[in-house]
């Protein structure tokens, strides 16, 4: 049997809400006011994309719709989607809707699932992006005057620079470390004493291990807030990280095609999934197979329409991220998105069963003798696919206990996912450590 979770869901420790005076007017608006605002901005976006994005205009013409056909927000579903393939076909500059001399910066998506897509930003876009990331840091518990350690990678990836300018905008001192050089990260955290860290959850675990190796207790660190995203993570991982560092771990979501980090962020006073910043991004959920609308509350692929972006507006962009839209709580006008369980691209299909690495993560974290460092290896030795979970034991776990933990994990994975998997329990420190977005699945199938 699986050991019971050491971190029962619902035991979340919540942080203090920002005072109403600290919020942007739109964070305090009511739904009616927000929707009025959205409709105005949506009209502008559709007209802008139609006039300046030739690929999107062609799609509209083929579908027989024109921006003037939009009378209400619900009319948006008559408009065609924008897909990753559309943006790839437009590579490098075909999706830009303003002249080059108005584009101040370019970023690119990681390109892990094919050719990269390029994103451009005008001065106005960069300004709004900074405002929104400042909003994220505030929602997470960060305050002006504090220090923010940025360990998201700087460069074409939107994580580093996106976090950086948002922290400056809020009035924080930024420590722009970028990813990698883990020993140095530890030293800088110890010396410069940041209150907040912005980093991928997997890399924060790497940092925790490195601290312990250097004889530093992560719980004694100055950090009180961790703003974690860019990859899927689970509620159990939140508990693991909060316990390891004695801080609040909060979820930040975004994607380069839509802007970068800051499309949605959790509020530390509720920790119940990121609120989508609907004054700038209109979310929908659709059936990932046929694109049919999925009503709020149902699971579907997230689709975003930008409402204010100038350089690269996106209309109904299919993210491939699976989630649900839920009513707002801490920011009542903004809908929340359920924590992303996975991207349709990361879904493993094993002997007919669909599985996301996060489902295995949940089970790993419920076995106390196992560390959160794991990898899934897929092979096809004969005719059938096989999956091996390679997971590290926590330090100081005896051989016998490891064997028991491996068996417990194998059983939990079978019970909760329907997939039979072999489990290899490895020595601590064996698996390659993440310094950015973690790669959980090694697919060696032909």
**Closest listed residue to residue 354, CA positions, set 367, 365, 343, 338:** 343
Q: How many CB atoms lie within 10 A of CB 11?
A: 9
Candidate segments 29-37, 67-75, 150-158, 370-378, binder of ligand DLL by CB under 6 A: 150-158
Inter-residue contact 266 to 274 (CB < 8 Å): yes
User: Of all helices (H) and strands (E), which one includes residue 183?
Assistant: helix 182-192
The residues near 126 (Cβ < 8 Å, ≥ 6 apart) are 104, 105, 165
DSSP assignment of 214-269 equals: TT--GGGSS--EEEEESS---HHHHHHHHHHHTSEEEEEEEETTTTEEEEEE--TT
| Stretch of 180-188, 246-254, 280-288, 384-392 lying at the interface with ligand DLL (CB under 6 A) | 246-254
Q: How far is the CB of 281 from ligand DLL (least distance, A)?
A: 13
Q: Is the dihedral of CA 121, 126, 131, 136 positive or negative?
A: positive
Element (H, E) at 148: strand 147-150
- Name which position in 208, 252, 370, 423 contacts ligand DLL (CB under 6 A): 252
Task: Select the residue interacting with ligand DLL from 15, 67, 232, 300 (CB under 6 A).
Answer: 232
CB of 265 to ligand DLL, least distance (A): 9
- Shortest Cβ distance from residue 109 to ligand DLL (Å)? 4
Site for ligand DLL in 258-317 (CB under 6 A): 260-261
If binding is defined by CB under 6 A, does position 361 make contact with ligand DLL? no
Closer to ligand DLL by CB, 254 or 406: give it. 254
Helices 201-213 & 235-245 angle (0-180, nearest 10): 30
Q: Which x/- pattern over 403-432 shows residues binding ligand DLL (rule: CB under 6 A)?
A: ------------------------------
**The dihedral sign for the CA sequence 335, 340, 346, 352:** negative
Interface with ligand DLL, residue 230, by CB under 6 A: yes
Binding track, positions 316-345, relative to ligand DLL; x by CB under 6 A: ---x-x------------------x--x--
Q: List contacts with ligand DLL (CB under 6 A).
A: 109-110, 152, 157-159, 229-232, 251-256, 260-261, 319, 321, 340, 343
């Amino acid at each position: 049997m699986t050991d019971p979770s050491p971190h029962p869901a619902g035991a979340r420790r919540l942080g203090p809400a920002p005072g109403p005076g600290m919020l942007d007017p739109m964070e305090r608006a009511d739904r009616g006011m927000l929707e009025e605002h959205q409709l105005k901005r949506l009209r502008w976006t559709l007209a802008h994309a139609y006039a300046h994005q030739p690929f999107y205009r062609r799609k509209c013409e083929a579908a027989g719709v024109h921006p003037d056909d939009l009378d209400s927000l619900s009319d948006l579903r008559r408009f065609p989607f924008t897909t990753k393939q559309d943006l790839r076909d437009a590579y490098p500059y075909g999706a830009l809707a303003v002249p080059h001399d108005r584009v101040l910066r370019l970023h690119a998506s990681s390109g892990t699932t094919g050719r990269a897509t390029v994103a451009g930003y005008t001065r106005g876009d960069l300004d709004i992006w900074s405002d929104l990331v400042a909003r994220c840091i505030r929602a997470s518990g960060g305050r002006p005057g504090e220090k923010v350690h940025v360990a998201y990678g700087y460069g074409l990836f939107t994580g580093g620079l996106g976090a950086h300018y948002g922290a400056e905008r809020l009035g924080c001192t930024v420590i722009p470390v970028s990813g990698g050089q883990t020993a140095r990260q530890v030293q800088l955290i110890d010396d410069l004493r940041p209150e907040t860290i912005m980093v991928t959850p997997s890399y924060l675990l790497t940092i925790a291990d490195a601290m312990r190796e250097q004889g530093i207790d992560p719980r004694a660190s100055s950090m009180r807030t961790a703003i974690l995203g860019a990859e899927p993570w689970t509620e159990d991982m939140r508990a693991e990280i909060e316990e390891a560092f004695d801080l609040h771990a909060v979820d930040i979501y975004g994607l380069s095609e839509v802007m970068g980090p800051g499309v949605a962020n959790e509020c530390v006073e509720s920790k119940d999934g990121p609120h989508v910043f609907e004054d700038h991004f209109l979310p929908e959920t659709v059936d990932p197979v046929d694109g049919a609308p999925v009503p709020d509350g149902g699971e579907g692929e997230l689709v975003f329409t930008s409402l204010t972006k100038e350089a690269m507006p996106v209309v109904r962009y299919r993210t491939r991220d699976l989630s649900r839209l839920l009513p707002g709580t801490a920011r009542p006008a903004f809908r929340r998105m359920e924590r992303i369980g996975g991207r349709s691209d990361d879904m493993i299909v094993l002997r007919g069963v669909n599985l996301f690495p996060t489902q295995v993560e949940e089970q790993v974290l419920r076995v106390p003798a196992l560390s959160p460092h794991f990898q899934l290896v897929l092979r096809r030795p004969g005719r059938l696919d096989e999956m091996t979970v390679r997971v590290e034991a926590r330090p100081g776990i005896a051989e016998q206990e490891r064997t028991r933990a491996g068996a417990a994990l194998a059983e939990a994975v079978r019970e909760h996912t329907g997939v039979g998997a072999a489990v290899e329990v490895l020595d601590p420190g064996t698996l390659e450590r993440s310094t950015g977005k973690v790669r959980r699945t090694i697919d060696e199938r032909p």
